């Protein structure tokens, strides 16, 4: 359809809808989101029982009900239900945490409402809205273009084709044009690589093309993280062993003890259910999700769960300088021209301040001319009222130039200058060109105004403004200018050259044959928190590398300000990189601390070289061009404030505050969560091995079966749930942030570690079987009660010993959650022994002194073993 037709059909206009109308349509069409198939709580709950072992166990219990063992079987089923509830709580919590994370990353849209441009939550878009999309944006809904300017879009999410697609609002296409060829349409989920465009929204949410695809194929499941894979692998191997043992237990119980086959089966299956560590990946996921939520509270938003564990192993951070290491609140401090020197007062982006001539040869007229150029060059995109909002969204460099102009010409003259220099064209700043130009019409003539990196602008200049005349730019003069630039740069100033030229004809290159006006020296002080964060990173064995488009000397000065020791040999510039082969780069990359004057394309090579050298690399980025490097890095980090949607989509971590210090915080959290996973795993494995060894050992010793099925399930219930999670949230180990990152390929559970855990399992079994055998002459029920209680209470020893690898538990800060969990299971055990419930569980009250002995002995022994292992350094 033609644009007019579309607008009419949707009862809208190029000015957009009114807020009232939009509100009405929102009710009618629903929010602009693609419902991801959220797992309903019921499904999560039911899934807890979707386990062959559990199903067999339930069937066996049902059979035993038929055979008359009514109470026992019902109890088994109740315990299974409680286990299901526990598993559900854990998984539901993880799911909630993930959902909260997804909400944080929700996109925004630029929309015209009542003719005014606003930024709103993309979910509130409705058909008929007029949207604006620009370079770096994610297209928020399906829209028919009504204007376009050099618009290029990446439609790979829809078509799988990654070459940029050019768009054109002016064409009208036949109705059967395929999606890939619809040049006058833009689609939700695609991203704008270049240019800008306006469009009228024609479909939102599930009615968009991507919405249709999502519905058809269902939500893609997040791939398992390496960690989950490791745990699944470990779980599988252990399961095989445990199932084999369980089978032997069934056989011996049935054949040697002459029990009914159903009793034997129930014992064996209960043992399998209890000991197979199928909950390991779930616990890991829950802890990663909890970690991710805590990171989000500290401004580090994880987009993929896998990032939490990957963060923990990072050993090189490649960071942007401007805005990440520095505050990004730039102010032009000096203006240098061939004739004069001017100083500016004020602070950051605050418009208050004035210009002061410093040298005698400075002239107010010259300053005024520079002020006019500066305002003309920047004011079309900046409106003083919204300076602060734009400060965070638009280019801070442009804003600094604007404010400098403002200080010179005064706010009352802005409008006059703006209309005097009518804007007719713009070449936006580009990290690769390192320049920006605007073209204006001034009293019938065309003038181009250029700002950019000094050496780039200098190369394109042929003359120099020596107020009030233009002179030829000789190589001597060019050298003099470069010396000025270097002087400023070495003091940490960002430098920017300003130039202009009158254009003879509209077709000529506006960025060639320029007249250089002067150099702007911009201050952008480092953030206060960065110096400390760099030091923290260093102590953790994480190297900080600055990768910047800025001048080498500026970058070195800033690096020194934040405590990085740099000399010439630690710096590599973009042009040197261009001359190097990948192998040469790999050879030197380890000693480089500052990469200066690099383009986004260089970043990919830097990441590759570092990875080749075995490093785990985190790389920051914000622009469209940064996406490949962000994807290549082990951890891509996008800026939440300055970053484009494209950069965010390519990243695993988004910094809500753009701050380098937040990266270090996130690495610390990642390390903490990952290393802490060892604790619940150690604990669970040794408890499970203890259960298996106890039941199996008693059989081997020719004793009557030691635990009833419901006892085994109960032991599993009280150990598996809360204590395990509580251990995962233990305080960080004392040396966690001062030791080097874990090496590549490090495993959570090592062979030696498993051996040690097996030993603890044997110890638990030894005590339990020993006490059992000793008490047998007081009757089977009494002896089983002793065994049951011993194994439940031995969990104390294992839980306390698992708290830390480095320190005995009493030297650690209290873990209240763990203590509550342990107290809880003790009280439950007392209830099972001393209340009428004991009928159900086939237990008898024990004499208090016996309870105390069987409660303390294994725990003390386990703690002693743990201390011994720690002394010998073999617990890991
Ligand atoms: P950084 O790594 O410090 O963020 P950039 O890649 O943003 O550096 O910029 C590199 C150089 O390009 C700057 O030193 C400056 O001279 C110039 N520059 C940056 N932004 C702009 C802009 N918006 N317009 C013109 N020139 C710019
Ligand atoms: Mg930058």
Q: Whose CA is nearest to atom 14 of ligand 1?
A: 550
- The conformation of residue 326, written as its DSSP 8-state character, comes to B
- Tell me: pLDDT of 590 over 90: yes
Q: Give the per-residue pLDDT at 491.
A: 93
Full-model pTM: 0.85
Mean residue pLDDT across the chain = 89
> Is the confidence at residue 37, as pLDDT, over 70?
no
Closest listed ligand to the CA of 330: 1
List pLDDT tens digits, range 748-758: 888 888 899 99
The predicted model gives 318-324 an average pLDDT of 92
SS3 content of the chain, % helix, strand, coil (to 5): 55, 15, 30
Which position has the higher pLDDT, 360 or 94?
Answer: 360
Region 736-742: mean pLDDT is: 91
Catalytic residue from among 320, 634, 658, 720:
320
**C-alpha 275 to ligand 1 mean position (Å):** 60
**121 noted as active-site residue:** no
Mean pLDDT on 7-29: 93
Instruction: Choose one of 400, 550, 594 to mutate for the ligand 1 pocket test, by most ligand atoms within 8 angstroms of C-beta.
Output: 550
Q: Is 45 in the pocket of ligand 1 (CB under 6 A)?
A: no
For ligand 1, say whether the CB of 321 is within 6 Å of any of its atoms.
yes
What is the structure's pLDDT at 36?
A: 64
Closest-lying ligand 1 atom to the alpha carbon of residue 320 = 2
The protein residue with its alpha carbon nearest to ligand 1, atom 25, reads 452
Q: Residue 239 pLDDT > 80, yes or no?
A: yes
Task: Indicate the top mutation candidate among 378, 381, 494, 522 to test ligand 1's pocket, ranked by most ligand atoms within 8 A of CB.
Answer: 494
Q: Give the residue-averaged pLDDT of 323-339.
A: 92
Across 334-351, average pLDDT: 92
Going by pLDDT thresholds of 50, 70 and 90, the confidence category of residue 381 is: low
Strand partners, 445: 442
pLDDT greater than 60 at residue 600: yes
Q: Whose CA is nearest to atom 9 of ligand 1?
A: 549
What pLDDT score does 218 carry?
Answer: 55
Give 621 Cα–ligand 2 centroid separation in angstroms: 8
Ligand 1 centroid, distance to 452 Cα (angstroms): 7
Please indicate whether residue 397, judged by its CB atom, sits closer than 6 Å to ligand 1.
Answer: yes
Q: How far apart are CA 734 and CA 39, in angstroms?
A: 39
Report CA(494)–ligand 1 centroid distance (Å): 8
Instruction: Identify any residues that bridge with 787 across adjacent strands, giving them in sequence order.
Output: none
Please provide residue 471's backbone torsions phi and psi, each rounded to the nearest 5 degrees: -120, 160
Closest ligand to C-alpha of residue 429 is 1
- The pLDDT-based confidence of 393 (bands split at 50, 70, 90) is low
- Residue 105 binned pLDDT confidence (cut-offs 50, 70, 90): low
Q: Identify which of 549, 642, 647 to mutate to test ligand 1's pocket (most ligand atoms within 8 A of the CB).
A: 549
Give the model confidence (pLDDT) of 438-488 as tens digits.
999 998 899 999 999 999 999 999 999 998 899 999 999 999 999 999 999
Q: Which of 668, 645, 654 is nearest to 300 (CA)?
A: 654
Cα distances (Å, whole numbers) of residue 480 to 93, 94, 318, 327, 461: 65, 62, 33, 30, 14
Question: Tokens 């000096």 — which residue?
Answer: 334
Residue 468, preceding bond cis, omega within 30 degrees?
yes
Mean per-residue pLDDT, 316-337: 93
Distance from Cα 600 to the centre of ligand 2, integer Å: 10
Ligand 1 contact, 600 CB (< 6 A): no
For ligand 1, say whether the CB of 253 is within 6 Å of any of its atoms.
Answer: no
509: CA distance to ligand 2 center in Å?
Answer: 26
Position 703 confidence tier, pLDDT thresholds 50, 70, 90: very high
Q: Looking at ligand 1, which residue's alpha carbon is closest to its atom 5? A: 549
User: Which pLDDT value is given to residue 392?
Assistant: 44
Residue 875 has a pLDDT of 46
Which residues lie closer than 8 Å to 668 by C-beta, 6 or more apart? Answer: 536, 540, 736, 737
Lowest mean pLDDT among 13-17, 39-43, 785-789: 39-43
- Measured from the CB, is residue 322 less than 6 Å from ligand 1? yes
How close is the Cα of 438 to the center of ligand 1, in Å?
16
- How confident is the model at residue 33, as a pLDDT? 86
Going from the C-alpha of 715 to that of each of 360, 705, 712, 760, the distances in angstroms are 88, 16, 5, 16
């Amino acid at each position: 359809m033609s644009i007019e037709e579309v607008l009419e059909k949707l009862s809208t206009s190029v000015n957009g809808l009114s807020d009232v109308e939009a509100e009405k349509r929102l009710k009618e069409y629903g929010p602009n989101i693609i419902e991801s198939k959220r797992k309903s709580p019921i499904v999560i709950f039911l899934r807890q029982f979707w386990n062959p072992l559990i199903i067999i166990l339930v069937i066996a219990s049902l059979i035993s009900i038929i055979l008359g063992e009514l109470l026992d079987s019902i109890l088994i089923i109740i315990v299974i239900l409680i286990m299901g509830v526990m598993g559900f709580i854990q998984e539901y919590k993880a799911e909630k945490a993930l959902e909260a994370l997804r909400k944080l990353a929700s996109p925004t849209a630029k929309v015209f409402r009542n003719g005014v441009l606003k930024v709103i939550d993309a979910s509130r878009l409705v058909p008929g809205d007029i949207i604006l999309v620009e370079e770096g944006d994610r297209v928020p809904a399906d829209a028919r273009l009504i204007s376009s300017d050099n618009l290029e879009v990446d439609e790979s999410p829809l078509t799988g084709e990654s070459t940029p697609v050019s768009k054109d609002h002016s064409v009208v296409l036949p109705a059967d044009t395929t999606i890939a060829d619809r040049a006058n349409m833009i689609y939700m989920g695609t991203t704008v690589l270049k240019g800008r465009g306006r469009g009228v929204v024609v479909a939102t949410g599930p009615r968009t093309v991507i919405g249709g695809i999502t519905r058809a194929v269902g939500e893609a499941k997040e791939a398992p993280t390496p960690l989950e894979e490791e745990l699944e692998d470990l779980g599988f191997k252990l399961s095989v062993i445990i199932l084999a043992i369980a089978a032997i237990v069934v056989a011996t119980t049935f054949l040697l003890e002459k029990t009914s086959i159903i009793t034997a089966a129930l014992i064996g299956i209960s043992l399998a259910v209890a000991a197979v560590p199928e909950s390991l990946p779930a616990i890991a996921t829950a802890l990663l999700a909890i970690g991710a939520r805590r990171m989000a509270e500290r401004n580090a938003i994880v987009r993929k769960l896998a990032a939490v564990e990957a963060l923990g192993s990072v050993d090189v951070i490649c960071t942007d300088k401007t805005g990440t290491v520095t505050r990004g609140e730039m102010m032009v401090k000096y203006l240098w021209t061939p004739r004069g020197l001017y100083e500016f007062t004020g602070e950051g982006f605050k418009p208050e301040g004035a210009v002061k001539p410093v040298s005698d040869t400075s002239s107010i007229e010259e300053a005024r001319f520079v002020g006019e150029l500066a305002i003309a060059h920047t004011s079309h995109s900046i409106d003083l009222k919204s300076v602060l909002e734009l400060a965070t969204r638009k280019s801070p460099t442009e804003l600094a130039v604007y404010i400098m102009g403002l200080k010179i010409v005064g706010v009352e003259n802005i409008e006059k200058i703006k209309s005097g220099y009518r804007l007719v064209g713009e070449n936006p700043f580009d990290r690769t060109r390192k320049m920006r130009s605007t073209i204006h019409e001034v009293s019938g003539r065309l003038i181009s105004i250029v700002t950019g990196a000094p050496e780039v602008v200098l190369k394109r200049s042929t003359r120099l403004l020596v107020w009030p005349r233009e002179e030829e730019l000789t190589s001597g003069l060019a050298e003099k200018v470069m010396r000025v630039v270097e002087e400023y740069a070495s003091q940490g100033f960002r430098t920017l050259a300003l130039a202009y030229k009158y254009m003879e004809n509209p077709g000529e290159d506006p960025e060639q044959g320029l007249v250089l006006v002067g150099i702007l020296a911009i201050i952008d002080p480092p953030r206060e928190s960065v110096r400390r964060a760099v030091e923290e990173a260093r102590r953790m064995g994480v190297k900080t590398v600055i990768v910047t488009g800025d001048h080498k000397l500026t970058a070195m000065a800033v690096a020194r300000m934040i405590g990085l020791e740099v000399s010439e040999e630690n710096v590599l510039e973009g042009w040197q990189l261009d001359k190097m082969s990948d192998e040469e780069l790999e050879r030197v990359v380890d000693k480089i601390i500052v990469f200066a004057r690099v383009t986004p394309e260089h970043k990919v090579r830097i990441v590759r070289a570092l990875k080749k050298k075995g490093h785990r690399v985190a790389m920051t980025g914000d622009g469209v061009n940064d996406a490949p490097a962000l994807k290549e890095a082990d951890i891509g980090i996008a800026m939440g404030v300055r970053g484009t949607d494209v950069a965010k989509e390519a990243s695993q971590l988004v910094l809500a505050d753009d701050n380098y210090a937040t990266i270090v915080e996130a690495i610390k959290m990642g390390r903490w969560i990952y290393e802490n996973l060892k604790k619940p795993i150690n604990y669970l494995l040794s408890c499970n091995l203890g259960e298996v060894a106890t039941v199996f050992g008693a059989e081997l010793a020719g004793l009557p079966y030691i635990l009833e099925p419901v006892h085994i399930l109960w032991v599993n219930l009280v150990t598996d749930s809360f204590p395990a999670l509580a251990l995962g949230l233990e305080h960080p180990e004392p040396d966690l942030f001062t030791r080097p990152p874990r090496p590549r390929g490090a495993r959570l559970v090592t062979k030696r570690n498993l051996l040690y855990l097996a030993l603890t399992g044997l110890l638990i079994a030894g005590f339990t079987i020993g006490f059992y055998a000793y008490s047998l002459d007081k009757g089977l029920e009494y002896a089983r009660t002793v065994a049951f209680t011993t194994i439940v209470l031995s969990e104390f020893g294992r839980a306390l010993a698992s708290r830390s690898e480095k320190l005995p538990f009493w030297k650690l800060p209290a873990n209240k959650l763990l203590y509550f969990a342990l107290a809880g299971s003790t009280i439950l055990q007392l209830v099972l022994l001393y209340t009428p419930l004991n009928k159900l569980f086939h237990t008898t009250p024990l004499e208090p002194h016996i309870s105390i002995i069987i409660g303390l002995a294994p725990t003390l022994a386990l703690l002693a073993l743990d201390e011994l292992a720690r002394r010998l350094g073999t617990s890991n």
